[in-house]
Structure 1
């Protein structure tokens, strides 16, 4: 993610287009990858004897040649990706568990006519009513698109934004990065039907096939909408989008917090990007402030001209396709299958759509997540788990505080500020202290499309209502059912939903080394995001500011360049390398997180040696705990897409970050000449 917003970082993404991890996950040699691991006894961890699945290792591989395969090779060999997934691993296994548990809650709720989440779930399950209505529910909106002219376009796009229809520009209300006690509306480039400009602009057989598949998808959607001459019109859409791709910023510039901070008045934007009625559009969104943030100004200039020059028929067709794709999950199966065939099969290699009950669960949690979350945490998140996490977080924070004090490259005055920032952290664990109020959202058991439309409008209005109000520090950017974690720079916070606080990430009955290598490193990862290539630009108040000395910046950038080079060298698929610059923030998070967690683990031993368990030392178990959480198999299409769009490195390379830690070499007697060996001078050391 993959970021929720430009000032946040996520731990991981599972399926591109969806964020990442309910019955316990499968860690053994199950070919179907669906058999649950045995439940933990009162005194025994859920996985293995001490929290690690030894049967999933491949000890024929030397850890110094491929630590991922050494730790996970048998699991990888024997685990088949389920037909409805683009990849399968620990995140997705826990996502399945969360989905199954949520289904049990919703199956009870759907029998209660007074339950909003029950009605929403029931409306999705009622496929007969959806099929009987056909496209009738969306026709009023499609009619507006067919009738729009250039003079009315800005007003229609504002309405589309509120309806949840993606178009040429996106936006949200968030904290002003340079004044984090105030909300501001931020706009960012849009207009592409494929995930990134590179899909339109880069050569190669894989991209050529995707371009052809996308062109056919455009034709098929127009046909489903009842339009004539669909093939010619689809080509016009594609050509228009390719022009948009040419003016878009690339992903590296779009990820730079400094470059994307461009405050403008509406008059400034009108002057910089003539040809579009910005005042009508922005006011139509409900934004009444005069100042906004424009993330990629030159892209807005280019897109405004392209829109002004494009035939209105092409723009109408773009909006028609975006509308059917955007609402495909709540329209008849023919529309849903067409969207799935491109966005899931062509792009990610997923052969089979999820069963309807799974999609019904996702629909309900995506739109009323905290209403579901209250029941979820009451049933599945015991207070002792939260208490144990509190202890772990404090230990990891203390470890980073010590590391900051010992840094040789950071100036003393900067260390004081860094420690102050660390001391100001807010940690959110499990679930919100205050739940979102959905009482103004109307949900009907027989109106799936209407429910989706009203939920989009509710979310839009709620987001816009932040303007002029106090910062909602109680809000969460994830539901308790999500298997993920994130750092929010403006809030100076780290957040861990309930669903990730389970094995293999965390098990109170597991060996401490496994927990510190798993959830401890995840905690460290999120904490360190506040000090990565972008997070380090925000001070202790969450303000985008220069608080490092020039010497600090130079030393930090030099270390970052070394990490960029390390990851640039990884060839994931033939001819497809990682982009070390694009993945830098997440790679710093992994590197720092593992270092910090290791220190915290050693301190937790209280000066005593760690016990040897099943012939494994404490340090060996720590690094195995890290490797285990990254178990994941990918379909080739999904892996290729991630190289272009995901700021996280693939799981194998994430586990390999251990090659930069001296204790890993000692733990496994790593020798020069082994494939992952780095000379001490080449090991990247940042935090």
Structure 2
């Protein structure tokens, strides 16, 4: 699933955070703040900076100079401000459900879930007691076979595994579900944190954190076991694939019969693992990082059983910590958020509560959210915009001078088969089988995890549900699914600065139009292009066309790799390739669609800005924001999206219309010679 953005849950400054439980002072949240009278924040520009020298700073500089990242956040910007509103709305919906004693069905479950999270006194009173059963299961393990079964069972509750399992659409048979396996075993954000000198301090802090969590849980020899755990994970990191390698859809599709897998990666009890995960009926699995599997299995086989048990115990505690008493929760925050991301202050409990509800019973919450806050006419307006962008992509494919007629036919077939989902699902999830209890936060979290896992595991081998959504309506994001060949836009993103129903069309094309184009282009990025119109992973390109595409993609990757965001920290052009291509394609499509929307008439000039200038400003406004340094360094290693500034700067340097709109000349900071500009979609 290719997303527009991957980010942490955000903070809110829109409402009071003083009340420890249910608040009665929530403001009116029905209106979304607008970005100026026609949709762009003109006061946020820095006109002392020429757009020809640094367009991002020109468009956003004054806003950024005065912007302070809230203490409970590691980044802040346009996305986050909108996420604040979404969180505040989720809070209002959740607290209304929690206060409604007559609630039934999903509303009652949401209310009970939120009340259990907000009852901090009850959680603190329990201390480590909720862990007892899960840690007893770890202590009872006697053999590596039993440990593999426990690792499988961790898919359904708190815990960890050296290998991750999931059930998903089969990339080469996308009408049915299959079981996938992927590398795992690491507690730090990426393999680089174990292997690179620049993350030495974070690795040392991680060992101290492991020891602290084992101590809180009452596990024996915490310091000694912490040292062994970090050494174990370092060995796993050495043989793990990089994130850039994990992006390759061809190389990560490796089907194995279970008997074949046992021979290929001996030393790990695969059948026991799958049985523990309720996947015993699986006769075939698709392995992602295939060459890493025998190496990780060999590490597992040689690791002392007591170290494996300590590792498993730590994973239970680490994952459960946010739902335990304050000593666990605070230790988790201190390392996971403060040390790794630079976030100075823990988020208020209500923010974490609505995020937990969204993550675990998101469609129950989302249905109430849509009923309360989503204007019905926005869906129709979005459908029209999507149609415009699709038309622009059709025309752009026809005009490509580097693609052969044969491949163009296949590309048009794929585009014609795109499915579109807007705002919310046509059918909502049924949570009637999920048990949610007051005063049992830990149990609610584990039951919700088991409910979700078993729901997906039960579908193994069955037909794919094309109506299913991969995001909830309150999510500020969007995505493209290659196996479903669909683009999806949750309700919450259909607001300023992305989409303003009262705003200038040019800004809307630059905002939500660029997002729509971004998701459509994902179907034709360096990985999305490998799947056909039916979502099947197959090669539908001529060899010559593929070579031309790859040459342009490599050229584009070098532009990003040349950017040093922080001292010694560059953008990974291979890791971010798909998102970078989607940004470029998305903005090109937004421009094309805006031109068509004019119907041959000249674009109006608003506040001295031409139509094309306003499209580019609309795109730049979406990405304005700041990061704390630790968070940025983490993003550069883990996130397939480039930092916000370069989601603006680098694509537009490759768009001829930008040069015409702002008069960019050789020698300007935003100039790239025509021969060096990337021409993909």
1:372 to 356, 365, 370: 365
Distance 1:673 1:76 in 2: 26
Q: Does 1:165 align with 2:153?
A: no
| Match of residue 272 from structure 1 | 264
Take 2:142 and 2:642, find their aligned partners in 1: how far apart are those partners? 44
Give the structure 2 partner of residue 98 of structure 1.
Answer: 86
TM-score by length of 1: 0.94
User: Which of 545, 559, 566 is equivalent to 1:566?
Assistant: 559
Change (3 A) 1:303 1:381: same
CA contact (8 A) 1:39 1:46 kept: no
1:571-650 aligned at under 5 Å gives the runs: 571-650=564-643
Instruction: Name the SS of the counterpart of 1:216 in structure 2.
Output: helix
Q: CA deviation at 1:133?
A: 1.1
**Alignment match, 1:502:** 495
Which has the higher mean CA deviation after the structures are superposed, 280-289 or 668-677? 280-289
Contact 1:210–1:346 (CA under 8 A) maintained in structure 2? yes
Alignment equivalent of 1:284, drawn from 276, 280, 288:
276
2:182 maps to 188
**Equivalent residue in structure 2 for 1:359, among 342, 352, 355:** 352
Q: Rate the CA distance shift 1:282–1:666 in 2: closer, same or farther, 3 A.
A: same
Q: What residue in structure 2 maps to residue 257 of structure 1?
A: 249
Separation in 1 of the partners of 2:499 and 2:592? 18
1:46 alignment counterpart: 34
* Shift, 1:14, TM fit: 2.4
2:173 counterpart residue number: 179
Contact 1:21 1:500 in 2 (8 A): no
The alpha-carbon distance between structure 1 residues 411 and 527, as it changes in their structure 2 partners (threshold 3 A), is same
| Structure 1 stretch displaced more, 502-511 or 279-288 | 279-288
Q: Distance in 1 between matches of 2:11 and 2:656?
A: 31
Among 656, 663, 674, the alignment partner of 1:669 is: 663
Q: Of 37, 44, 60, which residue of structure 2 is paired with 1:72? A: 60
Q: How many Å apart are 1:469 and its aligned residue?
A: 2.1
The alpha-carbon deviation at position 40 of structure 1 amounts to 7.5
Distance 1:422 1:283 in 2: 40
**Alpha-carbon deviations, 1:181-227, whole Å to 9, x = none?**
111000100000001111111122xx011111111111111111112
- Within 1, Cα distance between the matches of 2:158 and 2:460? 19
Q: Deviations over 1:273-313 (max 9, x none)?
A: 11111112113322212111011122211111111111111
Report the CA distance between 1:247 and its aligned residue: 1.1
Deviation per CA, 1:601-630, whole angstroms, max 9, x where unpaired? Answer: 000000101111111111111100000000
User: Displacement of 1:20 after TM fit?
Assistant: 11
Are residues 40 and 102 of structure 1, via their aligned partners in 2, closer, same or farther at CA, if it must alter by over 3 Å? closer
Could you tell me which residue of structure 2 aligns to residue 311 of structure 1?
304
Query: Which residue of 2 is the match for residue 224 of structure 1?
Result: 216
SS of corresponding position for 1:181: strand
Rounded to whole Å, the distance in 2 between the matches of 1:268 and 1:568 is 39
State how far apart, in whole Å, the 1-side matches of 2:189 and 2:12 are: 23
Change (3 A) 1:484 1:364: same
Deviation at 1:137?
Answer: 1.3
Moved more, 465-474 or 480-489: 465-474
Question: What does residue 475 of structure 1 align with?
Answer: 468
Secondary structure at the aligned position of 2:403 is classed as: coil
Worse-matched range after superposition: 494-503 or 317-326: 317-326
Match in the other structure for 2:24: none
SS of 2:616's partner is helix
Q: Using the alignment, how far apart are the partners of 2:345 and 2:380 within structure 1?
A: 40
The yes-or-no answer on 1:110 pairing with 2:103 is: no
Aligned twin of 2:514: 521
Question: Is structure 2 residue 438 aligned with structure 1 residue 445?
Answer: yes
CA contact (8 A) 1:120 1:364 kept: yes
Q: 1:428 aligns with which of 421, 425, 428?
A: 421
Displacement after TM superposition at 1:164 (Å): 4.1
For residue 23 of structure 1, report the CA deviation from its aligned partner: 5.7
Equivalence for 2:69: 81
Secondary structure class of the residue paired with 1:110: helix
**CA–CA separation in structure 2 for the residues paired with 1:608 and 1:281:** 64
User: Match for residue 336 of structure 1?
Assistant: 329
- Give the distance between the partners of 2:394 and 2:158, measured in 1 at CA: 43
CA contact (8 A) 2:10 2:84 kept: no
Change (3 A) 1:92 1:37: farther
- Residue 138 of structure 1: CA displacement? 1.4
Distance 1:244 1:440 in 2: 38
SS at match of 1:171: strand
Q: Counterpart in 2 of 1:28?
A: none
CA shift for structure 1 position 660 = 0.7
SS, match of residue 518 in structure 1:
helix
Paired residue total: 662
After TM superposition, the score normalised by the length of structure 2 is 0.95
Unaligned runs of 5+ in 1: 1-7, 25-35
Instruction: Tell me the secondary structure at the aligned position of residue 572 of structure 1.
Output: strand
Change over 3 Å in CA distance of 1:141–1:39 after alignment to 2: closer
Aligned mates of 1:20, 1:616 — CA distance in 2: 34
Aligned match of 1:9: 2
Q: Within 1, Cα distance between the matches of 2:153 and 2:276?
A: 7
Deviation sequence 1:351-398 (CA, Å, 0-9, x none)? 111101111111111110000111111111111100000000000000
The residue aligned with 1:484 is: 477
- Partner SS for 2:361: helix
Q: What CA deviation, in whole Å up to 9, does each residue of 1:542-601 have, x standing for no partner?
A: 000010000110110010011011000000000111111110100000000000110000
Q: Counterpart of 1:414?
A: 407
Q: Could you tell me how far 1:39 is from its partner in structure 2?
A: 9.3
2:395 equivalent in structure 1: 402
Q: Pick closer, same or farther for the CA change 1:221–1:40 going to 2, 3 Å.
A: closer
Q: Counterpart in 2 of 1:57?
A: 45
1:497-534 residue CA offsets vs partner (Å, 9 max, x unmatched): 00000000001110000000000000000000000000
